[in-house]
Amino acid sequence: MIDPFPPALILMMGSLLIPLLRGRLQSAYMLLLPVAGLAYLIGLTPGEYWKIGIFDYAITMVRIDRLSLVFGYIFHIAALLSVVYALHVKDNAQHVAGLFYAGSAVGALFAGDLITLFVFWELTAVSSVFLIWSRRTNRAYAAGMRYLIVQVCSGMILLAGILIHLRETGSIAFSDFGLNGLGTTLVFVAFGIKCAFPLLHNWLSDAYPEATVTGTVFLSAFTTKLAVYALARGFPGTEILIPIGAAMTVFPMFYAVIENDLRRVLAHSLNIQLGFMVVGIGIGTQMALNGTAAHAVTHVIYKALLFMSMGAVLYRTGTARASELGGLYRSMPQTTAFCIVGAASISAVPFFNGFVSKSFILWAVADGHYVLTWLVLLFASAGVLLYTGIRIPYLAFFSEDSGIRCSEAPLNMRVAMGAAAGICILIGIIPKPLYGILPYEVNYEPYTVDHLVTQYQLLLFSALAFVVLKRTGIYPSVLRSVNLDTDWAYRRLVPGIVGVVARVGDSAGGSFIEGGKALVSATVSGCRQYHGPQSILGRTWLTGTAVLVVTIFLAAFMIFCF
């Protein structure tokens, strides 16, 4: 029996044909690719395929199991929503980069060995940067370069870890290996960079807001969730992930509250939601891993919806800065409604999809008796409503009228937002289909009295806190500024050091050049003095004089040598 071909090929190879098509045929073809990929994936039987022996090492290009399948399903759905959202764009480079990037992420999901994982890991980095550069601004170029450097460094660390792990164990299987040596530690760091661990996270809030309107939607779905999958596959139950994830849910919150660029707010909140997933992986129980996978699915949808709504605002108004927006509900009522659905979902309002996944993780944390972590996550859940659930819709659509009057988002954008909003509501009301595709059997009911009462209390007190803080003037005002955290090191410190070195180098270089010029000038003057037209060595001598000089040198030679 012939092995089924890798699922990634449909999106990757198919994307390369997009420039050959035009108009509606091109649009239909782009829509067909993720649909065909999803249909093909649904029909696959769990198992390992495309096993190849290279230098006595077993390469397994395709491994199908329940963990990879749930991420594969949501990646294809995200690719479809992103394509619908981008249909109005007349830029083949963006279309090819977006679908090739999605295909590379799918390829990494189904990698059964570390070498195959590394190849697709790097392809996601290289292809995704074009979604940033396609905005064609100086800021986008600089952010894209920083993004690419970080992503390639992640790949190089991953490769180093793979080689050391291979030498230590003789195996390149991509499985649960935990932190048991230098090799796996480097692999862990590589995964952590892509998952935006604390102090390694700045590429996310730096690059995503500088991408194109449609590129940011693609970016929000794949890179970080691929890292979540990789951690769940390689490091389930690694307890150091629990405090790492807890920290991820808290510290970006303070930047999100004071940030002016609303797409940057969403980037910070993306980082926070990743923290919930990382905590679930650190706990490592079947319940916790189910919660992580469920939250990854719901997060892809509601985060894409929020980025879509802010992208539509940017597309119509030319800005996503809160200080320049307000009152847009009059001009963009449908986008406003979709944004509210996304905000309710990320805030885990009951009967929206964020509730049925986030409460799953909180339940797993409580079941494991991680009291401090549970309190931290509860605090972070309350904060979500403040910095995203209320702040994003309020500042963009309901705050003081900015006077901007614009058209509603293009039809394809509204269709994509409407579909994402519908999925958010559908999963929130009927979570059983989501629970049915999770890696392990689910024994959890989100809609109990305890869960509902706890969540409504949390939401009501958070909303009350927002009102009180706004009324008293304590809530941070919107400022026209760019906030830096640890990215200050490479956006300010390193360029400053380079500038000082360059100035010192210029000064030293100038002195060196002037000294060189003086030396050359003195040499030329000396040569002219002794070899110029009127110098002693430059004049024409008589033959007799020349013979006399030669005789003197010959006599001296004979006296001293004999």
Q: Quick check: is 418 in a domain?
A: yes
Question: Which two three-digit tokens encode residue 557?
Answer: 């030679």
- Kindly state whether residues 282 and 317 are assigned to the same domain: yes
Q: Quick check: is 115 in a domain?
A: yes
For 111, the 3-state DSSP assignment is: coil
Q: Quick check: is 400 in a domain?
A: yes
Q: Quick check: is 551 in a domain?
A: yes
* pLDDT value of position 551: 66
Question: Which two three-digit tokens encode residue 221?
Answer: 């779905």
- Kindly state whether residues 219 and 316 are assigned to the same domain: no
Instruction: State how far the Cα of 499 lies from the Cα of 124, in Å rounded to an integer.
Output: 33
Question: Exposed/middle/buried for 556, CB within 10 Å: 0-12, 13-18, 19+?
Answer: exposed
Q: Quick check: is 414 in a domain?
A: yes
- Kindly state whether residues 213 and 241 are assigned to the same domain: no
Instruction: State how far the Cα of 68 lies from the Cα of 226, in Å rounded to an integer.
Output: 10
- Kindly state whether residues 74 and 108 are assigned to the same domain: yes
Q: Quick check: is 252 in a domain?
A: no
Domain extent, residue 530, equals 492-561
User: Which residues lie below 8 Å from residue 36, measured CB to CB, with a gap of 6+?
Assistant: 10, 14
* DSSP letter, residue 261: B
- Kindly state whether residues 282 and 325 are assigned to the same domain: yes
Question: Which two three-digit tokens encode residue 522?
Answer: 């003195």
- Kindly state whether residues 349 and 406 are assigned to the same domain: yes
The amino acid at residue 151 is: Q
- Kindly state whether residues 442 and 460 are assigned to the same domain: yes
The string of DSSP letters for 491-536 reads IIIHHHHHHHHHHHHHHHHHHHHHHHHHHHHHHHHHHHHHHSTTST
- Kindly state whether residues 40 and 157 are assigned to the same domain: yes
350 CB-side CA count, 13 A = 16
Q: 513-518 long-range contacts, Cβ below 8 Å, gap at least 24?
A: none
Instruction: State how far the Cα of 301 lies from the Cα of 423, in Å rounded to an integer.
Output: 8
Query: Which of 203, 235, 267 is where one domain is finished?
Result: 235
* pLDDT value of position 65: 94
Instruction: State how far the Cα of 314 lies from the Cα of 393, in Å rounded to an integer.
Output: 14
Query: Which of 480, 513, 545 is where one domain is finished?
Result: 480
Instruction: State how far the Cα of 490 lies from the Cα of 57, in Å rounded to an integer.
Output: 39
Residues of the chain with pLDDT under 50: none
What is the greatest pairwise CA distance in the chain?
Answer: 125
- Kindly state whether residues 222 and 243 are assigned to the same domain: no
* pLDDT value of position 502: 65
Instruction: State how far the Cα of 223 lies from the Cα of 415, in Å rounded to an integer.
Output: 24
**To 10 degrees, the CA torsion angle through 387, 392, 396, 398?**
-80
Instruction: State how far the Cα of 251 lies from the Cα of 13, in Å rounded to an integer.
Output: 40
Question: Which two three-digit tokens encode residue 391?
Answer: 């702040």
* pLDDT value of position 558: 62
Instruction: State how far the Cα of 228 lies from the Cα of 240, in Å rounded to an integer.
Output: 15
Query: Which of 451, 444, 349 lies closest to 393, judged by CA?
Result: 349
* pLDDT value of position 458: 85
Instruction: State how far the Cα of 264 lies from the Cα of 487, in Å rounded to an integer.
Output: 14
* pLDDT value of position 549: 62
Instruction: Answer left, alpha or beta for residue 264, where phi above 0 means left and psi between -120 and 50 means alpha.
Output: alpha
Q: How far is CA 109 from CA 6, 67, 96, 420, 543, in A?
A: 11, 9, 20, 23, 92
Q: Quick check: is 300 in a domain?
A: yes
Q: How far is CA 437 from CA 67, 225, 340, 501, in A?
A: 9, 17, 28, 57
For 48, the 3-state DSSP assignment is: strand
Do 170 and 196 form a contact (C-beta atoms < 8 A)?
no
Q: Quick check: is 176 in a domain?
A: yes
- Number of structural domains (the chain) is 3
Instruction: State how far the Cα of 11 lies from the Cα of 30, in Å rounded to an integer.
Output: 9
Instruction: State how far the Cα of 383 lies from the Cα of 355, in Å rounded to an integer.
Output: 15
- Kindly state whether residues 314 and 454 are assigned to the same domain: yes
Instruction: State how far the Cα of 509 lies from the Cα of 165, in Å rounded to an integer.
Output: 47
- Kindly state whether residues 212 and 294 are assigned to the same domain: no
- Kindly state whether residues 505 and 464 are assigned to the same domain: no
User: Which residues lie below 8 Å from residue 545, measured CB to CB, with a gap of 6+?
Assistant: none
